[in-house]
Amino acid sequence: MSTALIWFRRDLRVADNPALSAALDAHDRVIPVYVHAPDEEAPWSPGAASRWWLHHSLTSLDRRIRDLGSILQVARGPTLPALRRMIRRFDASALYWNRLYEPAIVARDTGIKQRLIDEGIDARGFKANVLFEPWEIQTGQDQPYRVFTPFWRKARSQLQVRPPLSKPEGLAKPEGDSVQTIDDLELLPRIRWDSRFHDEWTPGEPGATEAFEDFIESGLRDYASDRDRPDRAGTSRLSPHLHFGEISPMQIAWALEERVHQSGDSARSAGADSFLREIGWREFSQHLLFHFPDMPERNLNPRFDAFRWDDEDPASIRRWQRGRSGIPIIDAGMRELWTTGSMHNRVRMLVASFLTKNLRQHWHHGQRWFWNTLVDADLANNAQGWQWTAGCGVDASPYFRIFNPVSQGEKFDPRGDYVRRWVAELAAVPAPLIHHPWSDPGISERTGYPAPMIDLAASRTLALAAYKDLPKSDAD
């Protein structure tokens, strides 16, 4: 009997799983395994919110696998010894997995593959979690793209959607149970700060499928206009499901093409195009991280190595983290993040701009906080997003573009519903004042909501002055 291991990582689904399908096609018995080795991802081991999601996603995956007749084999790392033990235990001749692209994981997986091949094991990786491998989209000079628009134009022209792979009809049950359990991994917090997470999210493949179906049916028509409105349920909320591989980009692209574009509904088709472009941003982030592996640590634009960040101010950073800045839409976003493990994308840009430009604190502080508190914390997306807003990335918002949180709030949260939801002190403040309550000094006295920690206009002037001190680029 030919046996293969299918090594689950961040592809926690049984449908449209290329490694699983290939293993089932080639072998009589396929054993699903998961190895927990966060230290091997250092310095970017999963943060607290990500660990919460991982626990529940693994639990969901285990239920799916048990429904198919098997059991998820769980082990602690180091990864190579753990895989070798399971290869010996099940007398496996092959190991299959779906590729990931973070630098530490690429290095680890490359070493594991070579060692196992040297030992006579058929070790294979597959494309499953992206539409394009990071090396598949290149410029005419065979160089990586550094600007999103031409990257996506080329990627979109080359995209060939395929039907999703079916889930298996069944899996052979291995002898004995898993040596370790998901609970043994101790992923959940000991202090239960996650109570609201359960109200907001359903981790796992069924939850991802349900969220996508809801979005397809009710969210696409107005997506292009509503996606920037934090006061509306206008986004897909698929980001953590995508990060953990509970749904694949190809499943999404196929559904958008076959169920939306073929329907002839022009409004929904426009929403589908807009949403697929957001998937493209995710692809672009993976592309950048693969080609510029120091992106989480270093400015992609080296001019910013000389930028005059303000002296590190732990007290100011802490006020930003706690949602006590005195700027309503900033505080709403930071409290939403702490409470739910997520934040509306438009507001993510606002809070990042406030930290890096108004407070002039290094983008690393924000990147680390998001890494620990976001359920969808993704190394490529997180680093790319912070560099984009800070102005130091390869395809960045210009540093001199400084979001005004008051005018942004008035534009995208015009009645103040988003602020009132997350900043309880301001629940009774009327719309004309909700985004600048300091205009009426009595509001602070009545509610206890803090005065702004910084003068927005003055801090903008200082940020622009620091920007002007940067050395000129060759293009200047």
Single-letter residue type at 420: R
Residues 6+ apart with CB under 8 A from 225: 234
Report d(CA 130, CA 110) in Å as an integer: 19
Which residue type sits at 79?
T
Separation of CA 169 from chain center? 31
Question: Is the bond preceding residue 43 a cis peptide, omega within 30 degrees?
Answer: yes
Q: With H, G, I as helix, E, B as strand and everything else as coil, classify residue 271.
A: helix
- Residue identified by tokens 């550094």 is 146
Single-letter amino acid code for the residue at 72: L
User: Backbone phi, then psi, for 148, in 5-degree steps?
Assistant: -65, -45
Residue with tokens 């082990």: 75
Reference 286, options 140, 152, 156, 96; nearest CA is: 152
Residues shown for the chain: 476
To which H or E segment does residue 328 belong? helix 328-340
Active centre residues (catalytic) = 278, 281, 309, 345, 363, 386
The Cα–Cα gap between 384 and 296 comes to 8
16 within 8 A of 107, measured Cβ to Cβ: no
Q: Dihedral, CA atoms, 311, 297, 343, 159, nearest 10 degrees?
A: 150
Cβ(41)–Cβ(105) under 8 Å?
Answer: yes
Peptide bond before residue 150 is cis, with ω within 30 degrees of 0: no
DSSP for 166-226 reads PPPS--PPPSS--SB-SGGG--S-SS---TTHHHH---SHHHHHHHHHHHHHHTSTTHHHH
The token duo for 66 is 């048990």
Alpha carbon separation from 337 to 157, 258, 376 (Å, rounded): 36, 35, 11
